Chains A and B, each alone.
Chain A
């Protein structure tokens, strides 16, 4: 079974630009969640999608958005990039519909904003 796949793995943008990141979950998993990881800040939750619906959203500005397609693949978009958006963006999929269960993470997309 293929794991969670994220693309691109690395990207460099400049302030003011926008970026789209993609996440393909494990086959059969319907829940996809996104996290921002920066040194010392742990895993900051961005949002979670289930069956194309956003179920939960973290405390990030509206410049951060996402969506999920009918095949469960998900994208997140960050508009008007700021230097502080430089981070590793991780997505995770889960096969459980309830409140417990293992999260399977992708290897992440490392974004550098210059």
Chain B
């Protein structure tokens, strides 16, 4: 099955700095790469996704880049704010007939005011 590695596991930044989280995946023929954000005590929610026909997608302060050749994709958050503090999960497309994406282990982002 799919293997997804996410780094770093913890990321601490000062408010206003940028944060980058990277995920690598092993194999897939699909084309959908989502990112979920889980605030403390809340449910994971989709914040941005990208399909393989584009290399980058932006939504205000967040962006995702995809390199299918190298099999990695990254989440970029600019001008971080304390409310960006959360756990972020990447997910890679299912493989082998599965309909469920494989999630990374998560990155705990801490933004210090």
**Chain A: residues with CB nearer than 8 A to chain B?**
4, 31, 33, 35, 40-43, 45, 48, 50, 55-56, 90, 98-103, 105-108
Contact = CB atoms under 8 A, between A and B. Distances in A.
Given A99-B32, A100-B32, 19 more contacts: A4-B43, A41-B105, A42-B104, A43-B106, A48-B99, A55-B99, A56-B98, A56-B100, A90-B43, A90-B44, A99-B98, A100-B30, A100-B93, A102-B46, A102-B49, A103-B44, A105-B43, A105-B44, A106-B43
B103 interface: yes
B45 A105 contact: yes
Contacts of A105: 43-45
A107 B42 contact: yes
B89 A42 contact: yes
Contacts, number: 57
A27 B17 CA distance: 40
A100 B31 CA distance: 8
B18 interface: no
Interface residues of B, number: 26
Contacts of B30: 99-100
A103 B101 CA distance: 10
Contacts of B31: 100
B47 to A, nearest CB: 11
A100 B6 CA distance: 20
Nearest to A58: B100
B105 A48 contact: no
Nearest to A97: B99
B34 to A, nearest CB: 7
